[in-house]
């Protein structure tokens, strides 16, 4: 049989599901508070190159809220996304705490972002590591500067084929 034969090919379908809030005010109160902290910390982003500011607030099971903003560097790719700033700090400061919820917001200095902005691929992989480690899903809420907010019940929704330690 030819290695590249398609006769034994089959298709799989993977579906994901998101909750869509028309506005941040429609979210549960605790998530609104988390998103407000993400919006506030977004102002601290160091984004002189991309002009794209991201803020994140993470709620841990011990009640602590960890925030982060993106930090760029002229020696690209030495900078770090807001999601990784926050989740790495949470892991360093509270190694036994579980991440319950993550609120992400992004805004551009050059135009208004109205579409929900999800985590990039590197951030998805980093968040996946924590979700796998803690053996429970992380709720992820993400938005632009204004407008719709998407909620994913798990990082796995955003990255269905996660690479993890079982492959090593």
Q: Residues with catalytic annotation?
A: 83
Number of other CB atoms surrounding residue 8 within 10 Å? 6
Number of other CB atoms surrounding residue 12 within 10 Å? 4
Rg of the Cα trace of the chain? 17
CA distance 95 to 132: 14
How far is Cα of residue 13 from the mean position of the Cα atoms in its chain? Answer: 24
Number of other CB atoms surrounding residue 134 within 10 Å? 15
């Amino acid at each position: 049989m030819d290695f590249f034969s398609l006769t034994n090919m089959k298709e799989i379908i993977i579906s994901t599901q998101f909750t869509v809030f028309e506005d941040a005010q429609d979210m549960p109160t605790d998530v609104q508070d988390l998103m407000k902290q993400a919006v506030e910390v977004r102002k601290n982003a160091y984004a002189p190159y991309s002009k794209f500011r991201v803020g994140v607030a993470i709620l841990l099971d011990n009640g602590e809220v960890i925030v982060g903003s993106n930090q760029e560097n002229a020696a690209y790719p030495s900078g770090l996304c807001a999601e990784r700033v926050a989740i790495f700090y949470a892991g360093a400061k509270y190694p036994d705490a579980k991440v319950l919820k993550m609120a992400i917001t992004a805004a551009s200095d050059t135009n208004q972002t109205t579409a929900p902005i999800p985590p990039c691929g590197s951030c998805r992989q980093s968040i996946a590591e924590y979700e796998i480690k803690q053996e429970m899903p992380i709720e992820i809420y993400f938005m632009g500067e204004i407008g719709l907010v998407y909620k994913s019940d798990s990082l796995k929704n955003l990255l269905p084929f996660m690479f993890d330690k079982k492959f090593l």
